């Protein structure tokens, strides 16, 4: 297993367009997390899945954002009607239930630029 994989690595989009990112977690990990990291700041929690169930969502996850993990494996994060303020690195992490936060493995992220 090569770790947490995110695709694409970079995305440039025009304001108002929709974008979708994909995260493939470590295969045996049943928990999956999305974080957002703006320039010069630490990552901020967006949402978390256990298997296919989305169990927690941050207030940062506005109604333009939607995340899915349909079969409990890979996950997608969609941003509708992108705004310049959405420009950030979107990080995915996965872990095994029971390891908690100590078992986090982060991917390399998708860098979104909204122009």
Partner 1 sequence: GENVEQHPSTLSVQEGDSAVIKCTYSDSASNYFPWYKQELGKGPQLIIDIRSNVGEKKDQRIAVTLNKTAKHFSLHITETQPEDSAVYFCAASITSRQLTFGSGTQLTVLP
For partner 1, the binding residues (CB under 8 A) are: 4, 31, 33, 40-45, 48, 55-56, 91, 93, 100-102, 104, 106-109
Nearest CB to partner 1, comparing residues 18 and 99: 99
- 3-state DSSP call for residue 23? strand
CB of 104 to partner 1, least distance (A): 7
CB of 19 to partner 1, least distance (A): 19
Summary count for the chain: helices (H), strands (E): 0, 11
Report the candidate in 62, 68, 70, 59 with the shortest Cα–Cα distance to residue 92. 68
């Amino acid at each position: 297993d090569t770790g947490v994989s995110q695709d694409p690595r970079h995305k440039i989009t025009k304001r108002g367009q929709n974008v979708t990112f994909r995260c493939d977690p470590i295969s045996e990990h049943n928990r999956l997390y999305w974080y957002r990291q703006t320039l010069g700041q630490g990552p901020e929690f967006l949402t978390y899945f256990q298997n296919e169930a989305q169990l927690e969502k941050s207030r940062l996850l506005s109604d333009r954002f939607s995340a899915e993990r349909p079969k409990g494996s890979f996950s997608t994060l969609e941003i509708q009607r992108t705004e310049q303020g959405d420009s950030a690195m979107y990080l995915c992490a996965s872990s095994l239930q029971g390891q908690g936060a100590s078992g986090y493995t982060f991917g390399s992220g998708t860098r979104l630029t909204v122009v």
